Amino acid sequence: MTRLKDKVAIITGGAAGIGKATAIRFAQEGAALAIWDVQEEKGREVAQMLAETGAKAVFYKVNTADASIVREAVTAVMNDFGKIDILINNAGILRDATLLKMTEEQFDLVVQVNLKGVFNCTKAVAPFMIERGYGRIVQASSVVGLYGNFGQTNYVATKSGVIGMTKVWARELGRKGITVNAVAPGFIATEMIESIPEHILNAMKEKVPANQLGTAEDVANVYLFLASDEAGFVNGAVISVDGGAVV
């Protein structure tokens, strides 16, 4: 299948979880891939794995919270690939605690990666998309950004903020031929939830009508749609991928 044939995609947080699944899915659809992550060993493994399938994939060690590093990485991608068609703002972290127990360091770190990182990447990539009159920007929000969640003040604030930025950028960039959309995953089985106790995981499953967690591939498939030309008239949307946990 070739829905992304001749397209160049940057995937942040592409070394594991949803980002890795997205890189694999995009490669299957013909995209050339720039994989950004702070996890160098895992990121290089993903790029090598994709290269062995015949895809063009290059890993770049990028901390999206650092604007100067992001700008340098965008320059490197342009040098290596010649263009950027798709930006998947997928990188994110958790530092959970209730309000009274959350430290300033926990709050600031999540904001820097999950919110400022999305701003940094989009600001650096957008001019190259504007120049060509084409682009697809997709960012990871979360259902908790829509409805809140106990013990996640920092995470919820960032994911709500991503939705707000999506709405603004859809208006600002839509006239330039660029769509900007967000995906709001629900309970997804990735490395990020490995530390959650089993009884809490079971309670999460019970909130989903199908009594199961989603997969990284479930989210990757929605990223794919929004990144494709099929979604050319979808702009400023927030699509929940939560199995009906919140309806």
Residues belonging to the active site: 155
Q: Residue 70 corresponds to which tokens in the numbers above?
A: 């992001």
Q: Are strands 86-89 and 238-241 parallel, antiparallel or unpaired?
A: unpaired
| DSSP secondary structure, 230-247, as one string | GGTT--S-EEEESTTS--
Helix, strand, coil percent values for the chain (each to nearest 5): 50, 15, 35
- Residue 159 to residue 176: CA distance in whole angstroms: 25
How far apart, in Å, are the Cα atoms of 209 and each of 204, 240, 244, 247?
A: 11, 15, 6, 10
